[in-house]
Amino acid sequence: MTKGFVIGAGLVVVIGAATFPFASEAYTRYEVMKKLNPILTEQDRIAFQAWSGDALSFAKSLYARCQLKNGGDAASCNAYRVALE
């Protein structure tokens, strides 16, 4: 009985440790999308779905694009900056 409990608890720990990075990235993608959703174009949404990198790097690329387009500290880029926080 005790041996079965220890093996079961060990499996739970191993499975939890193995799935944590995937769950963490999924949650980060959700949070970034929630912050960016009001300002994204349809083309940006499609690009985000196809993005193979992490969600924060996508937000950084949008912020950099906005800075290039509108100038370094443009107020219109604040929404992208907020998504990075």
Q: What is the mean pLDDT of the chain?
A: 83
Number of domains present in the structure of the chain? 1
Residue 69 lies in a domain: yes
- Cα gap 64→53, rounded to integer Å: 16
Question: Which tops the pLDDT comparison, 76 or 61?
Answer: 61
Which domain covers residue 28, as residue numbers?
23-84
Alpha-carbon separation of residue 8 from 20, 21, 26, 37 (angstroms): 18, 21, 26, 41
Tell me if the pTM is above 0.75: no
Residue 61 lies in a domain: yes
In this prediction, residue 14 carries a pLDDT of 77
Residue 44 lies in a domain: yes
Kindly report, residue by residue over 33-70, the tens digit of the pLDDT. Answer: 888 888 888 998 898 888 888 888 888 888 888 888 88
